[in-house]
């Protein structure tokens, strides 16, 4: 079955550590996205990528980094520079950037201790 | 600028209709979407409407679009306990590079 797989589902980290969240899709989609979800604030776009080896900052990119070395993979690194990293992170993909349906993963919940 | 607003919470009784409202600011929006998020999960597309339509019906779901007031609503008929979730309104428009802009989400609680 085609879909998006995020891992890990739950992650704990100490302050000052970098962590990487995995996102893999087998939908053959060109575009991939990372969103952050906080209660009462909806989804905020962190980074997005339209094509391999290219990505763009979203609305809240500070303290995050991404790479897009393969079409099916778009990992997100939460660095120690991110002031408030505890959140629910959602990865999504779509056929292209020109609107259309986003397909979401199940999410990764990061808690900083 | 980009702004999609929704009320945060709605509580209904099982069997009643639910109406979730959304306002948006970009008059050039091309598509407007409703996504559903169940607890601890990702979002799933429920339905969408193209900006030149006024209404779209899909089984228990009815979407109404008032372009003049930039108002979008989602009506769920015969609401069931399985409809309890967070519902997100989203728009896409050329002004935002065709990226989706989401509202904060409306928590729907269905009481049996």
CA-to-CA dists, residue B32 to A36, B10, B35, B71, B85, angstroms? 21, 21, 10, 10, 19
B30/A110: higher pLDDT: A110
Alpha-carbon Rg for chain A, nearest whole angstrom, is 13
Taking 60 as the threshold, does the pLDDT of residue B1 lie above it?
A: no
Q: Give the closest-approach CA distance of B27 to chain A in angstroms.
A: 16
Q: Which of A42, A44, A46, A91 is most worth mutating to test chain B (most B CB atoms within 10 A of its CB)?
A: A42
Residue B84 clears pLDDT 90, i.e. is over it: yes
Least confident of A22-26, A96-100, A105-109: A96-100
> Across all residues in chain B, what is the average pLDDT?
90
Contact state of A102 with B43 under an 8 Å Cβ cutoff: yes
Residue A95 pLDDT = 86
Contacts of B79 (CB under 8 A, 6+ apart): B12, B13, B14, B15, B16, B17, B18, B108, B110
Q: What pLDDT is attached to residue A58?
A: 92
Share of chain B above pLDDT 70, in %: 94
Two tokens, residue A11 = 């992650």
pLDDT at residue B2 in the model = 56
Segment A30-46 mean pLDDT: 90
Question: What whole-number distance in Å separates Cα of residue B88 and Cα of residue B15?
Answer: 22
Rounded to a whole number, what is the distance in Å from the CA of B100 to chain A's nearest CA?
Answer: 7
Q: Which residue has the higher pLDDT, B40 or A18?
A: A18
Q: How confident is the model at residue A2 (pLDDT cuts 50, 70, 90)?
A: confident
Confidence of residue A76 (pLDDT cuts 50, 70, 90): very high
């Amino acid at each position: 079955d085609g879909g998006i797989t995020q891992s890990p589902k739950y992650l704990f980290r100490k302050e000052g550590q970098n962590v990487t969240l995995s996102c893999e899709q087998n939908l053959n989609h060109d575009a991939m996205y990372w969103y952050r979800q906080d209660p009462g604030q909806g989804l905020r776009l962190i980074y997005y990528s339209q094509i391999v080896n290219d990505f763009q900052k979203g609305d809240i990119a500070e303290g995050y980094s991404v790479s897009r070395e393969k079409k099916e993979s778009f990992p997100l690194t939460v660095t120690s520079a991110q002031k408030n990293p505890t959140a629910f992170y959602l990865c999504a993909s779509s056929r292209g950037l020109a609107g259309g349906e986003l397909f979401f993963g199940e999410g990764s919940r990061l808690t900083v201790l | 600028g980009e702004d999609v607003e929704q009320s945060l919470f709605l509580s209904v009784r099982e069997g009643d209709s639910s109406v979730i409202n959304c306002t948006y600011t970009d008059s050039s929006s091309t598509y407007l979407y409703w996504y559903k998020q169940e607890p601890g999960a990702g979002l799933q597309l429920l339905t969408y409407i193209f900006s030149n339509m006024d209404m779209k019906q899909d089984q228990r779901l009815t979407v109404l679009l008032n372009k003049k007031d930039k108002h979008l609503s989602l009506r769920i008929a015969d609401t069931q306990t399985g409809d309890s979730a967070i519902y997100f309104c989203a728009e896409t428009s050329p002004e935002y590079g065709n990226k989706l802009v989401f509202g904060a989400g409306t928590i729907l609680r269905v009481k049996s």
